[in-house]
Chains A and B, each alone.
Chain A
Amino acid sequence: MKNRLRVLRAEREWSQADLAVRLEVSRQSVNAIETGKFDPSLPLAFKLARLFGLAIEDIFTDEQ
């Protein structure tokens, strides 16, 4: 699944480690989500959305 995490993170000048701390996950998890290698669960996607103050579909794009 494509996402805008890298851009959203850059806008806030957060490193992957910074975002990982805020999400309470590992930096590797943030990297895997950001590069589209791992799709987060719905609870984690909601957590991301809350963190950025956006809706889930504003962060993740359904490729179909």
Chain B
Amino acid sequence: MVCSTNNPAQRRYLIRFAVCMTIYIVLLLVSVLALKHFQPTGVPAYALAVLPALPIIASLIVMGIYLAEEKDEFMRNLQVQALLGGTGVTLSVVSVWGFLEKFVHAQHFDLFMVYPLFWVATGLTAAVLWMRVRS
């Protein structure tokens, strides 16, 4: 995210995002340990497997809330462009990788890695946009 000081919407977003990521780490540990220790089957196994994805979904909703709350239209515009760039890069990478896996047996790319890939791509897009604006 492109941050400026004294922006209440950005401050709230960062706090909410940090909360989501903290819950994610806790739930991931709970899931991994519970699945390993208790080796559940059926619905409990599915529930434990899905558990870490919930704060990830929440973090995307938190981004939506930020965009709704951001009163600075320039910053909002920059963030939307960064998200679009990140989405485009992510879809391109996973599409290319999918065909590589299918046709030339490239190493498997775990789907849960799409989320961090998206944020890295969004962050890089934001950095490029920011440099263009500042130059």
Contact = CB atoms under 8 A, between A and B. Distances in A.
B4 interface: yes
A25 interface: yes
A39 B75 CA distance: 12
A41 interface: yes
Interface string A11-36: 00000000000001111110111000
B77 A38 contact: yes
Contacts, number: 32
Chain B at the A interface: SS class: helix
B119 to A, nearest CB: 22
Interface in B70-106: 71-75, 77
A29 B73 contact: yes
How many of chain B's residues touch chain A, expressed as a range?
Answer: 10 to 19
Interface in A1-60: 24-29, 31-33, 37-38, 40-41, 44
How many of chain A's residues touch chain B, expressed as a range?
Answer: 10 to 19
B4 A26 contact: yes
B22 interface: no
Contacts of A27: 4
Contact of B72 (A25, A31, A37): A25
Interface of A: 24-29, 31-33, 37-38, 40-41, 44
Interface of B: 4, 7, 71-75, 77, 132-133
The 4 A-B pairs of least Cβ separation, nearest first, read A29-B74, A26-B4, A25-B72, A38-B74
